[in-house]
């Protein structure tokens, strides 16, 4: 889980540019319903850090951590706040806020800036600010700011910071290639081969068969509460509406007549033609092509023989063809018959040879003939306007504080309720329950919004189906009742006890190997095990094709030659003992230059990442950073529940 948390904050140019995740949390990821609550109980509003002339308030940091936790929980539904903080989430968020403020001030000081127009453009491009039409909507924008307790000035400041990051951080972090001199030592390291031995001591072989009793199991549960905890769940109430629920005004005859008059040219008689043509650079070439075509060769073949290529137009009107050629050529082309060859004639682009491929005549349509088409088009427009007006009216009611029940009663919609849901939409304890995938935006929004009873809007199917919803109740994260999980507790306790014995066995094996015995001899003397097997490989092969690196190999490639170490297998599955017996690393100067170059290319991003981190460190040094460690530790305890709120 900790690895997943770290990956969440990674980016192509490292931790520094990952600040965008924090700075624009809920915006760049279109989290349109994230809300902050600066007055959350517990610690007061003191400042947890000072960065240059700017300060980071404790309430702001708490809100940022909660927002980041909400985003992380979308990827890891079982993640608890305690697990997030213990996995480095709090420190990551604070570090990136500090980096951002330091960078902002330093970049401004050395002459970088962001214009209002740039920020306006970024705001217009953010999906969270789009209305039902898919375009930027001022009302949606203002509603987003209101829901997040954010002013427009604050948002613009954060977007400025992001744009400064893009101006400076991305160019610094993008290194096209490394020189061979720098790459050779790394190439040698990647080509290094290691061989070793490993033995596995399974916890199951030493797990006790007895039952320690309820008291011991309850103590075990208390010590391992996070392992058995069911994450926070939320009960939602909602009402659905779609186009079918929205009344659409009928299209009148007067509206049809007006549309017919306003678009008279569309219903008048028309003629379109399609041409196969080639444009030659000179008259002689065009004459040669025309002669071949008249002799029976196709335009395409004749053009190809002259080193040119022919093309076929779409269905063009006279005016459209005039725009691509000239008035004289177009009039001649539209006077010709189907199959006639035209030209060569000179145009602004060269000498044109063309053949009339098709002629399509469209007769004029009177009002009666055009009415069905016009009625359908106007009906579609009225339906679109009706759903937009209906949606906006409900949004106004939501903004005004109306509840789901009140809105549903006013609009004659049916209110429904879910069981207690996890962020992934599942409902532990309710067998057979399944929420349709289209409800994912509603569930996601409900878990990003920490307030109970506040109505929200979610788009389920773009421009088609919507939900008004609210969080009816929140079921706090907690382990299930003891009686319900006693069987699992007993099984886990047995493995945990076996893990302790397996650990002692592993340590005994290490001590014996360090005393001069072979790994095989030490493992045999320690008791039941899976035997000794050879492990190893080349460093460059680790993690190929995106496959996870086996933990025993990761340890092997971090050890000193001749050493022996223990490795705990997660989940109380046992322990391993790893011995490194051989290390073969090539001479950097002897590596083939082509191989050095091939290894240097993928290393460039890592060097870029290092440069960006150095730049960020220098920015912090220049502006000055002070952290209130005592206050930070109190917040850590509050978030993890390891101390009373307000300690």
Which run of H or E residues covers position 415?
strand 415-417
pLDDT at residue 215 is higher than 90 = yes
Which run of H or E residues covers position 223?
helix 214-223
pLDDT digits (tens, 9 = 90+) for 431-474: 888 888 889 889 888 887 657 888 999 889 888 899 999 999 98
Mean pLDDT, to the nearest integer, of 72-88?
Answer: 76
Output the CA torsion 452→456→461→466 (10° steps).
110
pLDDT digits (tens, 9 = 90+) for 611-628: 888 888 888 999 999 999
Backbone angles phi, psi at 41, to 5 degrees: -60, 165
Question: Cβ(550)–Cβ(543) under 8 Å?
Answer: no
Task: Give the residue among 417, 388, 454 at the shortest CA–CA distance from 240.
Answer: 417
- Paired strand residues for 580: 196
Amino acid 415: pLDDT:
93
pLDDT at residue 68 is higher than 50 = yes
Tell me the two tokens of residue 464. Answer: 């088609």
Output the CA torsion 447→148→33→390 (10° steps).
140
pLDDT digits (tens, 9 = 90+) for 252-290: 989 889 988 888 888 888 889 999 899 998 999 999 999
Mean pLDDT, to the nearest integer, of 334-358?
Answer: 87
Q: Give CA–CA dist 64/2, Å, rounded.
A: 19
> Which of 25-29, 452-456, 460-464, 582-586 is least confident?
25-29
Q: Give CA–CA dist 192/584, Å, rounded.
A: 6
Amino acid 176: pLDDT:
65
- Bond prior to 473 in cis (omega within 30° of 0): no
Handedness of CA 258, 261, 263, 266 (dihedral sign): positive
Q: Give CA–CA dist 67/69, Å, rounded.
A: 5
pLDDT digits (tens, 9 = 90+) for 538-578: 988 887 777 888 899 999 999 999 999 999 998 899 999 99
pLDDT digits (tens, 9 = 90+) for 505-524: 999 999 999 999 999 999 88
Q: Give CA–CA dist 135/155, Å, rounded.
A: 19
Which run of H or E residues covers position 237?
strand 233-242
Q: Give CA–CA dist 288/311, Å, rounded.
A: 18
The answer for 222, left when phi > 0, alpha when psi is -120 to 50, beta otherwise, is alpha
Provide the pLDDT confidence category of residue 45 given band limits of 50, 70 and 90.
low
Provide the pLDDT confidence category of residue 77 given band limits of 50, 70 and 90.
low
Q: Which residue has the higher pLDDT, 10 or 460?
A: 460
Q: Give CA–CA dist 184/187, Å, rounded.
A: 5
Provide the pLDDT confidence category of residue 21 given band limits of 50, 70 and 90.
very low
Provide the pLDDT confidence category of residue 5 given band limits of 50, 70 and 90.
very low
pLDDT digits (tens, 9 = 90+) for 190-212: 888 999 999 999 999 999 999 99
pLDDT at residue 92 is higher than 50 = yes
As a residue count, the chain comes to 647
DSSP assigned state of 36: -
Amino acid 231: pLDDT:
82
Amino acid 227: pLDDT:
83
Amino acid 515: pLDDT:
92
Q: Give CA–CA dist 80/71, Å, rounded.
A: 12
pLDDT digits (tens, 9 = 90+) for 487-499: 999 999 999 999 9
Mean pLDDT, to the nearest integer, of 200-227?
Answer: 91
pLDDT at residue 309 is higher than 90 = no
Q: Give CA–CA dist 471/329, Å, rounded.
A: 69
Average pLDDT, the chain: 82
Q: Give CA–CA dist 398/190, Å, rounded.
A: 59
Question: Cβ(33)–Cβ(456) under 8 Å?
Answer: yes
Backbone angles phi, psi at 591, to 5 degrees: -75, 135
pLDDT digits (tens, 9 = 90+) for 373-416: 899 889 888 888 888 888 889 999 998 889 999 999 998 999 99
Provide the pLDDT confidence category of residue 9 given band limits of 50, 70 and 90.
very low
Task: Give the residue among 596, 562, 594 at the shortest CA–CA distance from 578.
Answer: 562
Provide the pLDDT confidence category of residue 36 given band limits of 50, 70 and 90.
very low
pLDDT digits (tens, 9 = 90+) for 127-168: 888 876 677 888 888 888 876 667 788 788 888 888 887 887
Mean pLDDT, to the nearest integer, of 296-320?
Answer: 88
Amino acid 175: pLDDT:
66
Q: Give CA–CA dist 286/290, Å, rounded.
A: 6
Q: Give CA–CA dist 472/144, Å, rounded.
A: 21
Residue where the block lists tokens 């600040």:
19
């Amino acid at each position: 889980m900790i690895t997943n948390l770290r990956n969440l904050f990674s980016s192509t140019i490292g931790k520094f540019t990952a600040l965008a995740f924090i700075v624009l949390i809920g915006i760049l990821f279109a989290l349109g319903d994230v809300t902050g609550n600066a007055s959350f109980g517990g610690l007061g509003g003191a400042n947890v850090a000072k960065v240059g002339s700017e300060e980071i308030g404790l309430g702001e940091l708490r809100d940022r951590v909660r927002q980041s936790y909400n985003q992380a929980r979308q990827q890891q539904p079982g993640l608890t706040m305690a697990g997030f903080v213990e996995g480095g989430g709090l420190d990551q968020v604070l570090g990136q806020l500090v980096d951002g403020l330091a960078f902002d001030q330093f970049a401004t000081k050395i002459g970088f800036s962001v214009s209002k127009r740039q920020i306006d453009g970024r705001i217009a491009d953010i999906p969270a600010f789009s209305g039902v039409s898919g375009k930027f909507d001022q009302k949606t924008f203002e509603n987003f700011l209101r829901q997040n307790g954010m002013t427009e000035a604050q948002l613009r400041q954060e977007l400025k910071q992001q744009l400064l990051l893009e101006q400076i951080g991305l160019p610094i972090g993008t290194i096209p290639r490394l020189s061979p001199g720098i790459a050779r030592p790394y190439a040698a390291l990647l080509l290094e081969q290691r061989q070793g031995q490993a033995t596995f001591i399974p916890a199951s072989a030493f797990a006790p068969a007895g039952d320690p009793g309820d008291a011991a199991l309850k103590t075990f549960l208390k010590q391992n509460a996070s392992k058995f905890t069911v994450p926070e769940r939320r009960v939602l109430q909602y009402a659905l509406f779609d186009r079918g629920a929205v009344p659409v005004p009928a299209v009148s005859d007067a509206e049809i007549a007006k549309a017919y008059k306003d678009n008279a040219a569309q219903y008048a008689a028309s003629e379109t033609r399609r041409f196969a043509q080639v444009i030659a650079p000179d008259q002689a070439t065009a004459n040669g092509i025309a002669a071949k075509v008249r002799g029976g060769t196709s335009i395409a073949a004749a053009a190809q023989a002259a080193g040119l290529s022919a093309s076929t137009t779409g269905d063009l009107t006279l005016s459209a063809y005039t725009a691509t050629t000239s008035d004289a050529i177009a009039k001649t082309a539209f006077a010709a018959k189907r199959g006639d060859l035209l030209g060569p004639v000179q145009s602004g682009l060269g000498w044109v040879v063309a053949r009339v491929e098709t002629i399509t005549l469209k007769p004029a349509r009177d009002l009666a003939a055009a009415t069905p088409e016009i009625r359908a088009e106007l009906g579609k427009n009225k339906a679109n306007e009706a759903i937009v007006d209906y949606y906006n009216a409900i949004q106004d009611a939501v903004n005004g504080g109306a509840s789901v029940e009140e809105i549903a009663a006013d609009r004659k919609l049916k209110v429904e309720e879910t069981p207690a849901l996890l962020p992934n939409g599942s409902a532990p304890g309710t067998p057979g329950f399944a929420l349709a995938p289209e409800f994912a935006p509603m569930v996601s929004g409900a878990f990003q919004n920490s307030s109970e009873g506040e109505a929200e809007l979610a788009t389920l199917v773009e421009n088609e189906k919507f939900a008004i919803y609210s969080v009816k109740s929140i079921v706090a994260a907690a382990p299930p009742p003891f009686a319900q999980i006693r069987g699992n507790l007993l099984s886990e306790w047995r493995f945990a006890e076996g893990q302790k014995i397996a650990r002692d066995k592993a340590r005994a094996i290490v001590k014996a190997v360090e005393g001069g015995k072979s790994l095989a001899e030490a493992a045999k003397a320690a008791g039941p095990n899976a035997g000794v097997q050879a492990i190893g490989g080349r460093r460059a092969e680790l993690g190929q094709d995106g496959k996870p690196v086996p933990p025993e190999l990761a340890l092997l490639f971090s050890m000193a030659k001749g050493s022996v170490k223990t490795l705990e297998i997660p989940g109380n599955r046992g322990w391993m003992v790893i011995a490194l017996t051989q290390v073969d690393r090539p001479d950097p100067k002897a590596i083939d230059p082509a191989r050095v170059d091939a290894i240097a290319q993928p290393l460039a991003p890592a060097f870029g990442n290092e440069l960006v981190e150095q730049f960020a460190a220098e920015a912090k040094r220049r502006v000055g950073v002070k952290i209130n460690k005592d206050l930070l530790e109190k917040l850590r305890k509050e978030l993890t529940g390891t101390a009373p709120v307000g300690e």
